[in-house]
Amino acid sequence: MKYRLPLLSLTSLSVLVACQTTTPTPLNTPSPVPTATPIASAQPTPTPAPVATATPAPTPTPTPAPTATATPVPTPVPTAVPTATPVPSPTANPTSTLRVLVFDDLGSQLNTAIVKVKSNDPTLVYEATASLENGYHVIKTIPTQKTMQVSVTAPGYTTRTRLVSLSALETKLDLEFKGDIYAISNKPEVVMTKPAYSASLNADGIIELTFSENMNKESVQRSFSIQSNSPDVVKLQVGTPIPKAVSVRGIPSDSVYDIRHFDYEWDTDRVFRLKPKYGLPIATDARFRLILSYNDGSGSADTGGAKDVDGNKIRQANISTSTVINDNTNSAETVTVEDGPFLVGTQYKAFLPFTVTDNLSPTRVVGVGSEVSPRDNFFLNFSKDLFYDLTTAQTVVGGANGQAGAAAAGNAFVSAAQAAKNYRLSCNGVNVTLPASAVAVFTSSNRVMVSVADTDNLFNTSDNCTVNFSGLVDTAGKFMSDPSISFVAP
């Protein structure tokens, strides 16, 4: 509808325009109201032409409305989607299925086995336990293109591990734990040793054996011994001969040390630690070996082979030879076949070889005393035992090589009177000649007494005396340190 309007003043027209713009209020916000201000400021131009051009000014105002409301809506949507994408990353890390068959060392399949898989790759945290499906131990979410450690065991059995890696194209991998290397066994075995296989060990060092399962402690202790690993008969530095090992199934006559020569302790029922009481043997050949098949000759059921707590004997030590055909030369060759309780990598060894390093400090005197009644004597206390016996009952002592001057006291090789001559006494600055009645005897393994007949005299009360014993050697064949000491006669 068109209206004919009379010619109004500019003021009236402005009011009319304002009245007309209030009608389309739903179109937008009050923002059109300020737009009238520039119209009023144009008073110097009386023509109504700006009136017609001013009315369309509100028309563009609907355009910003959809722009403002539409822009924020899609913005968060694409932002959230890429953020979640890298977490599962199904394309980057495809998975596969692992099926495992487990056998014991007799070739029987074990459905009671426990199979676990964990990542061996530091960039991936993954661990899973298999479930039994139709005789297979199955895990269906194995990441591919990563190295995984697969371990199998069963209650009362050893543990075996293997490393596997599946390619991105493999959807399934079948794995068998079977045969000499991977079959699990209910026979206990030594899975870790200190020293390591064929390593060196200080003469005062600690031996540590870690077993695959809980052990019968008494059986381990009585089946433990040290043998010479030399092909020849050798001697200790003091001259005591060392027996040549006849077999890895040792007996006292072919062994050097057994449990009696060690202080020992258990950490739980699996870790056995031993420290030698006298130091490991210091001999002309430093090669020795540890066995767990020693029979101490007592007739006890706990000797001759260590057992676990269920009574299962440790894997039997055995060394034999076999003839094989060399594929390259097509000729027969003799090879050594070894089996036993020591698991080294994937091979079983009959014994643990090691080399003894002599780090022993010399023996010294730690105390001195004297008596004048019932007869004159003086005695010396030493820091270490001065004698002990091997499993063969042969004595390890200074002078065992026939050198009387090395003996601290009388023994199977040197008489007490000969040993007494190794001590030189002086009192108040005057040398004292020991009478023919003088003898040197052990009153304990680390204590020597030198005495004379009651008719002979060595010193008087309050005499300041010094005794010198240079030339004496200890059980390792070392000369005594600080070979003199002083005392005041009582």
Inter-residue contact 288 to 227 (CB < 8 Å): yes
What pLDDT shows up at residue 399? 94
Inter-residue contact 281 to 237 (CB < 8 Å): no
CATH architecture of structural domain 190-357:
Sandwich (2.60)
pLDDT in tens, 427-469: 999 999 999 999 999 999 999 999 999 999 999 999 999 999 9
User: Does 2.60.40.1220 match the CATH number of domain 365-488?
Assistant: yes
| Residues forming CATH 2.60.40.10 domain(s) in the chain | 95-182
What pLDDT shows up at residue 15? 32
What DSSP designation does 406 have?
G
Maximum CA pair distance of the chain?
A: 166
What pLDDT shows up at residue 172? 87
CA nearest 229: which of 304, 285, 292?
A: 285
What pLDDT shows up at residue 25? 42
What pLDDT shows up at residue 489? 94
What pLDDT shows up at residue 66? 46
Give a three-class secondary structure readout of 121-185. Answer: CCCCCCEEECEEECCEEEEEEEECCCEEEEEEECCCCCCEEEEEECCCCCCEEEEEECHHHHCEC
| pLDDT beneath 70: ranges in the chain | 1-93
- Reported as half-sphere exposure (CB side, CA atoms, 13 A), residue 121 has a value of 13
Written out in words, the top-level CATH class of the domain with range 95-182 is mainly beta
Flag whether the pTM goes above 0.95.
no
| Residues forming CATH 2.60.40.1220 domain(s) in the chain | 190-357, 365-488
What pLDDT shows up at residue 92? 55
Inter-residue contact 137 to 100 (CB < 8 Å): yes
Inter-residue contact 230 to 284 (CB < 8 Å): no
